Amino acid sequence: MKGSDDYSKAVSNHYKQLMEYCKINQERLDRELPPPREDLNELLAERGVSRRDFIKWTSVMTSALMLPPMFRPALAKAAENFSRLPIVWLHFAECTGCTEAFLRTSYPNVADILLETISLEYHETVMAAAGHQAEQNLEKAMADFKNKFVCVIEGALPRGLNGQYLRLGPKGKTAIQIAKEVTHKAATTVCIGACACYGNIQAARPNPTDAAGISKVLGISTVNIAGCPPNAVNFVGTLLHYLMFGGMPPLDSIGRPIWAYGQRIHAVCERRAHYDAGEFVEEWGDDGAKRGWCLYKAGCKGPYTFANCGKVRFNDGVSWPVMAGHGCIGCTEPGFWDTMTPLDGTNRRRAI
Ligand code: SF4
């Protein structure tokens, strides 16, 4: 009994200290960050999200971030401060699918509404400026918010021909040059999507442009919100953590936040009981498919893939690929085009 009392006391002291740290950080951010661009409460009311729904959401998000309920008010404050965090969003070798996935939500939940309030100092897809004016905006954002802005990167960096496969802007700088300049002045760098994290399809064999992820090319630590595309909830939760504690959440060995990528898809899949019972979809449209059996024999990569897709789902929690009837393709894992294909059909690896 004494051992368990000591353990409870140690845990409680740990969280008290963490709460103190959170308060100090939020007071510092209150002093340092620009005023809010949006009143979150007004925006939520406009979108039909009640205060009750917002409080429910803060509870879910607090527990998703592996924090006890005492942090809920601090998370609510971080959400209210979301529009104060300056973001510079760079695009390199990619399809813009991550931005599209975040922008085109039909039924916005609180996380999607927070994304709308984000203070985008520079984002090539959504800003009106182009050419020299766009470049001036980028330089101004880097000067005004030096060491305070978060650099978000979507897209891989081609290294071939000294980076000349991808030149951008009126001065024709290489993507590598721009990425170095901006990340050097940022408080932290967050990679959005499999391309920026690990290179994705651009880096798949034979990789003609010698593309790779940001961390590998620049030799810096990045927070990797992996996925093709990733879930908006994982991005929002990671920034909320930053607004609470002034740093990024604990990461796994390849830079992914553990709170979102700490478990295999297979561990919490709703079809798992069928896997354990040996009930598999053998071919598309068969009786097993109609009954919602396990998709492992149809190529599901859930046993090898770390992500929370089955828990948070997509489109306001409506569904996710396995629920819709297609196996996981392993898109949160590095090099999945080379290591996980064919995406349908027989798995090349043994199940866990
Ligand atoms: Fe779910 Fe895929 Fe695992 Fe089957 S193999 S239980 S469908 S994650």
DSSP string, 173-192: EEHHHHHHHHHHHSSEEEEE
Residues of the chain with CATH 3.40.50.700: 2-260
Do 164 and 172 form a contact (C-beta atoms < 8 A)?
no
pLDDT tens for residues 192-229?
Answer: 999 999 999 999 999 999 999 999 999 999 999 999 99
User: What's the pTM?
Assistant: 0.92
Q: Which ligand 1 atom sits nearest the alpha carbon of residue 280?
A: 4
CB 254 within 8 A of CB 232: no
Span 290-309, pLDDT tens digits: 999 999 999 999 999 999 99
Q: How far is the CA of 280 from the centre of ligand 1 (A)?
A: 9
DSSP for 63-80, please give it: HHTT--GGGHHHHHHHHH
Residue 296 beta carbon below 6 angstroms from any ligand 1 atom = yes
The packing angle between helices 72-80 and 2-32, to 10°, is 20
Fold for the domain defined by 263-339 = Cytochrome-c3 Hydrogenase; Chain A, domain 2 (4.10.480)
- Residue 352 predicted with pLDDT over 60: no
Quick one: average pLDDT of 14-43? Answer: 91
What residue ranges of the chain are covered by domains with CATH 4.10.480.10? 263-339
Q: What is the reported pLDDT for 291?
A: 97
Residue 24, C-beta contacts closer than 8 angstroms, at least 6 positions apart:
none
Contact 114, 85 (CB under 8 A): no
Measured over the CA atoms of residue 38, residue 102, residue 255 and residue 70, the dihedral's sign is positive
Query: Of all protein residues, whose CA lies closest to atom 4 belonging to ligand 1?
Result: 294
Asked if residue 16 lies in contact with residue 67, where contact means CB atoms within 8 angstroms, the answer is no
* Pairing relationship of beta strands 223-225 and 167-168 according to DSSP bridges: unpaired
Structure tokens at 53: 């729904």
Q: Does the domain made of 2-260 have the CATH classification 3.40.720.10?
A: no
Collapse the DSSP code of 345 into the 3-class scheme (helix H, G, I; strand E, B; otherwise coil) and give the result. coil
Asked if residue 47 has pLDDT above 90, the reply is no
Q: What's the maximum distance between 2 C-alpha atoms anywhere in the chain? A: 69
- The residue with greater pLDDT, 120 or 279, is 279
Q: Is 225:193 a contact under the CB 8 Å cutoff? A: yes
What are the backbone dihedrals phi and psi of residue 306, each rounded to the nearest 5 degrees, phi first? Answer: -100, 115
Closest atom of ligand 1 to 302 CA is 8
User: Considering only CA atoms, which residue is closest to atom 5 of ligand 1?
Assistant: 296
**Using a 6 Å cutoff on CB, does residue 303 contact ligand 1?**
yes
Give the residue-averaged pLDDT of 72-93.
94
C-alpha 193/C-alpha 207 separation (Å) is 18
Average pLDDT on 3-23 reads: 91
CA distance linking residue 348 with residue 299, whole number of Å: 9
Average pLDDT along the chain: 91
